Amino acid sequence: MTSIGKCPCEFQETVTISDLMLGTLPYSKYAVSALRDLGVRDAQETHYAKIRISAGVDNSAVVTTSILPYGEVAYIDTISLSCGSYLGLAPVIMAYISGALGDRVGHRVMQRHAGRLVEWLKSVSRVSDTDGRGKPGKMNGPN
C-alpha cells in the first residue's frame, strides 16, 4: 500500500486579480502582470490557482503555485520551504499561500484545505521516519 506522503498534495482555489493585489510577495505582483498581459482586465473575474506541495528532504516541501485563467497556465512559481519538522511546515505553507495569493485566498485555503494538508504532512513525516534516510518517497531498501 502506498502512503499519501509519497504523493504530492494538490488542490485548487479560486482567485481574482483583486485577491492577488492584496498579496505581499513578489509572486502576486508577477501573477497580476501575467494576467493583464493575457488581456484579463476585470479585477473581479474568477480564475483558478493550483497549489501543488511535494515533500522534500530534511523537513522541507516544494510548493508550486500556478495561475490558470481560462484553463491555461498564465504564471507559475516554485519555492522550497523548510522548518524544524514536517508538521511545522503547515503554518509556513499557509503563510506563503497568503502572501502569494492574498489574505482572502489564504483564508479560504485555511478553511477548505488545511486539515487535508496537515494529514498529508503527518503521512510525509511517517514515511520519512520509516525510510531511515530522511528522504520521503524513497522505497525501503539497501543504502
Does residue 81 register a pLDDT over 90? yes
HSE, side-chain direction, 13 A CA sphere, residue 105: 31
Q: How many helices (H) and strands (E) are present in the chain, helices listed first? A: 4, 4
Residue 125's nearest CA partner among 137, 112, 110, 111 is: 137
Dist. CA 8–CA 78, nearest whole Å = 14
Lowest mean per-residue pLDDT among 36-45, 69-78, 113-122, 133-142: 133-142
Beta strands in the chain (DSSP E): 9-15, 47-55, 60-68, 75-82
Q: What's the pLDDT at 46? A: 97
Q: Output the pLDDT for position 48.
A: 96
How far is the C-alpha of 143 from the C-alpha of 138, rounded, in Å? 11
What is the mean predicted confidence (pLDDT) over 101-113?
Answer: 97
What integer pLDDT is reported at residue 82 of this predicted model?
Answer: 96
Q: Is the pLDDT of residue 9 over 70?
A: yes
Higher pLDDT, 72 or 17: 17
47 has a pLDDT exceeding 90:
yes
Give pLDDT, residue 116: 96
Which pLDDT does position 143 carry in this prediction? 34
